[in-house]
Amino acid sequence: MKLTIIGTGYVGLVTGTCFAEVGHHVICVDNNAEKVAMLKAGGIPIYEPGLEELVQKNVAEGRLSFTASTAEGVEKSDIIFIAVPTPPQADGSVDLSFIEGVAREIAGAMTSYKIIVDKSTVPVKTGEKVAETIKRYCKAKVEFDVVSNPEFLREGFAVQDLMKPDRVVVGERSQRPVPAMKQVYEPFKAPIIVTDINSAELIKHAANSFLALKISYINAVSIICEASGANVQEVANGMGMDARIGRQFLDASLGFGGSCFPKDLSAFIKISDQLGYNFALLKEVQRINSFQMERFVKKISDTLWVLKDKKIGVLGLAFKQNTDDVRTSPAIDLCQRLQKEGAILRVHDPKAMEKARALLQGVTYVADMNEVAQGCDALVIATEWPVFKKLDLDRARKDLTHPIIFDGRNLFDPAEMERLGFIYKSIGR
Ligand SMILES: NC(=O)c1ccc[n+]([C@@H]2O[C@H](COP(=O)([O-])OP(=O)(O)OC[C@H]3O[C@@H](n4cnc5c(N)ncnc54)[C@H](O)[C@@H]3O)[C@@H](O)[C@H]2O)c1
């Protein structure tokens, strides 16, 4: 099939590449000319495991191409996916100007029947607005359908999630585009849920908010564990073996972040308010998440006392493992809070240092994780990169002026760390 994806970011690039990998012909459009030039020259603007090889292969085999022209993408394909940003506004609601802008561009370029598929995460009822906008701005008298097809990929595992989705959600306003949407996804052999467009849009916000709720739940439990001498990992393991609960998203930490959970949670709270329901449960999820960060910073200052001029090493800047994405990263938030208290930071991340530089200045970026602790009063672990478990602990103990580690991701065993001579403070243990 001939498919166009508008917005070649974390979602658009991986989706487009995986569509090409199963045999579709895909044009990825982006209005960032630099990004398009980089992709055309064989570069990849994001780090996502397995992506680079797949992009190169599909470009070489002629199924994947890049352009900065929306008109070209609209003209050459029958199905147009929208994967542009839907960032939060100051009041928590979603900035839908990117979606509206693209809808207008598509409308202006349409000369034959098109299926317009919204893949971006949007508040319920956005599809209706997109359809109205296209109708208003379409000069040619052509028919079209608007479909919602929310994306559930996890950064760091995006290729695997795209190639083997748990489910595909297709939200429609008429039956007409459904066979084509099923054909797009047929090669992925995943269950396809066809539903009305409002339900499809709600599925995404409800799912992400529920996952955030699960994290805040275990983080709240971690407070009780610390107060009672229990171990949150033991509690999570015991809870998680119940098939009704599941072990995933039960890792206590310094809190969740990233470009999705915080914004989708705020958006869902906001849209609920607008629809007349005070979703207080989700407001508490947000409160617990902020409190978890405050508790972690307090743990550091309770131990080191005055943070001014203290040297602190920080491992991890990405919002989670396996990605270079630093948008709304708890690790960056933590660094900025420590800096505000006057701490001097040495930081390292396996993939995110380049992107972090734009958000975090006045720190020393250290290329080797084993050199971060040099001359520091304490070491902090802020991202759950598996490679941090291979840290040379003997060297870290010698390099630190005091052998103190604050682990915001529970990567090490407390008893073992104590045996190695560390003052080791983690979450809920
Ligand atoms: N990142 C994730 O893990 C994830 C997962 C599921 C859903 N989503 C949702 O998918 C959407 C996109 O997220 P993302 O992380 O891929 O964002 P991103 O910022 O990585 O990518 C968006 C891309 O769209 C481009 N763009 C903006 N306006 C454009 C326009 N008018 N024409 C063409 N290109 C344009 C930008 O240049 C950018 O490259 C958001 O709604 C997000 O909530 C993201």
Residues 38 and 84 in one domain: yes
Any domain includes 160: yes
What local confidence, expressed as pLDDT, does residue 49 receive? 95
Same domain, 173 and 299: no
Atom of ligand 1 nearest to the CA of 105: 31
| Distance from Cα 328 to the centre of ligand 1, integer Å | 15
146 contacts 130 by C-beta, under 8 angstroms: yes
- What are the respective helix, strand and coil percentages of the chain, to the nearest 5? 45, 15, 40
Q: Which residue has the tokens 């809190």?
A: 255
- What integer pLDDT is reported at residue 221 of this predicted model? 98
The answer to whether the CB of 360 is under 6 A from ligand 1 is no
Query: Which atom of ligand 1 is closest in space to residue 150's alpha carbon?
Result: 7
CA distances from 116 to 1, 19, 63 (A): 14, 16, 20
Give the residue among 252, 300, 214, 249 at the shortest CA–CA distance from 428: 252
18 noted as active-site residue = no
**Centre of ligand 1 from the C-alpha of residue 85, in Å:** 4
Q: In what order do the strands lie in the sheet with 144-148?
A: 64-67, 25-29, 2-6, 79-82, 114-118, 144-148, 168-172, 192-196
In a domain, 203, yes or no: no
Across 326-349, average pLDDT: 98
DSSP E strands in 126-214: the ranges are 144-148, 168-172, 192-196
Q: Is the CB of 45 under 6 A from ligand 1?
A: no
Catalytic residue among 138, 260, 335, 376: 260
Q: Give per-residue pLDDT as tens, 71-118.
A: 999 999 999 999 999 999 999 999 999 999 999 999 999 999 999 999
Q: What is the pLDDT of residue 83?
A: 98
Residue 101 CB–ligand 1 contact under 6 Å: yes
Tell me how far CA of residue 163 lies from CA of 77, 208, 285, 407, 412, in angstroms.
22, 20, 31, 34, 32
Same domain, 237 and 124: no
Does residue 298 lie within any of the structural domains? yes
Model-level pTM? 0.96
Does residue 130 sit in the same domain as residue 246? no
Q: Tell me if 258 is assigned to some domain.
A: yes
Q: 314 phi and psi, to 5 degrees? A: -125, 125
- 317 and 226 in a common domain: yes
Question: Probe ligand 1: pick from 259, 321, 325, max atoms within 8 Å of CB?
Answer: 259
Q: Dump pLDDT digits (tens) for 177-233.
A: 999 999 999 999 999 999 999 999 999 999 999 999 999 999 999 999 999 999 999
Name the residue among 149, 154, 156 with its Cα closest to residue 192.
149
Task: Express each pLDDT in 250-259 by its tens digit.
Answer: 999 999 999 9
Q: Are residues 280 and 405 in the same domain?
A: yes
Q: What is the CATH number of the domain that holds 339?
A: 3.40.50.720
Flag whether 197 is in a domain: no
Checking DSSP bridges between strand 64-67 and strand 79-82, what pairing results, if any? unpaired
Structure confidence by residue, pLDDT tens digits, 112-150: 999 999 999 999 999 999 999 999 999 898 999 999 999
Cβ neighbourhood burial of 324 (10 Å; 0-12, 13-18, 19+): buried
DSSP 17-78: HHHHHTT-EEEEE-S-HHHHHHHHTT--SS--TTHHHHHHHHHHTTSEEEES-HHHHHHH-S
Out of 190, 219, 253, a domain closes at 190
pLDDT value for 134: 97
DSSP structural state of residue 423: E
Residue 196: inside a domain: no
3 lines ligand 1 (CB under 6 A): no
Same domain, 172 and 229: no
d(CA 405, CA 126): 46
Does residue 307's CB lie within 6 angstroms of at least one atom of ligand 1?
no
pLDDT above 90: percentage of residues in the chain: 100
Residue 344 pLDDT class (50, 70, 90 cuts): very high
What pLDDT was estimated at residue 104? 98
Q: Final residue of a domain: which of 159, 190, 221?
A: 190
Q: What is the pLDDT of residue 254?
A: 97
Sign of the four-CA dihedral 283, 286, 292, 295: negative
Q: Please, is 415 exposed, middle or buried when counting C-beta atoms within 10 Å of its C-beta (0-12, 13-18, 19+)?
A: exposed
Q: pLDDT category, 311, cuts 50, 70, 90?
A: very high
For residue 192, what are the β-bridge partners? 168
Task: Calculate helix-pair angle for 10-21, 51-60, nearest 10 degrees.
Answer: 50
Residue 39 lies in a domain: yes
What is the rounded (10 degree) CA torsion for 416, 419, 424, 429? 50
pLDDT of residue 201: 98
Average pLDDT over residues 286-305: 98
Q: What is the mean pLDDT of residues 146-157?
A: 97
208 CB within 6 A, ligand 1: no
pLDDT-derived band at 45 (thresholds 50, 70, 90) equals very high
Mean pLDDT over each residue of the chain, to the nearest integer: 97
What are phi and psi for residue 38, nearest 5 degrees? -60, -45
Q: What DSSP assignment string belongs to 98-137?
A: HHHHHHHHHHHH--S-EEEEE-S---TTHHHHHHHHHHHH
Main-chain phi, psi angles of 298, to 5 degrees = -65, -40
CA of residue 11 to ligand 1 center, whole Å: 6
- Considering the domain architecture, whether residues 185 and 214 belong to the same structural domain is answered as no
The answer for residues whose C-beta is within 8 angstroms of residue 203's C-beta and 6 or more apart is 150, 169, 171, 193, 195
In terms of Cα–Cα distance, which of 365, 372, 417 is closest to 396?
372
277 and 181 in a common domain: no
Do residue 244 and residue 112 come from a single domain? Answer: no
Do 176 and 218 lie in one domain? The reply is no
Ligand 1 centroid distance, CA of 107 (Å): 20
201 in a structural domain:
no
Kindly indicate the confidence band of residue 327, based on its pLDDT and cuts at 50, 70 and 90.
Answer: very high
How confident is the model at residue 109, as a pLDDT?
97
Q: Which two tokens stand for residue 371?
A: 């050199």
pLDDT of residue 138: 95
Q: Which structure tokens are listed for 154?
A: 């996890």
For the stretch 357-393, pLDDT in tens is 999 999 999 999 999 999 999 999 999 999 999 999 9
Cα(259) to ligand 1 centroid in Å equals 10
226 and 332 inside one domain: yes
Query: Which residue segment(s) compose the domain that 150 sits in?
Result: 2-190
The per-residue pLDDT for 68 is 98
Count of domains for the chain: 2
Task: Name the amino acid, one letter, at 217.
Answer: Y
Give dist(CA 94, CA 259) in Å, integer.
Answer: 12
